[in-house]
Amino acid sequence: MITLLWKVDGKRARGRSPIRWSDQVQTILGLNIPTAMRQAADRAVWKKLVDTSVKALQDEHDLQ
């Protein structure tokens, strides 16, 4: 398994969200990045985790 993580230096483009990808993962999944990466190693566990999180977000925002 190859994992790439890096930090980009510099300023973000005008109008771009100040929220980082890692912050979104932690907020949505409720996991820190190392734990999320371990969970992602098992496809069945990761799929269940993502499906549960997406369902919770859809229920929270009730897009209908």
Element (H, E) at 20: none
Dist. CA 57–CA 30, nearest whole Å: 12
Residue 37 pLDDT > 80: yes
Surface-to-core class of residue 15, CB atoms within 10 Å of its CB (0-12 exposed, 13-18 middle, 19+ buried): exposed
- Per-chain mean pLDDT for the chain: 80
Q: With contact defined as beta carbons under 8 Å apart, do 37 and 3 qualify?
A: yes
Q: What is the per-residue pLDDT for 47?
A: 92
pLDDT confidence band for 41 (50 / 70 / 90): very high
Residue 16 pLDDT > 60: yes
- Span 19-38, average pLDDT: 85
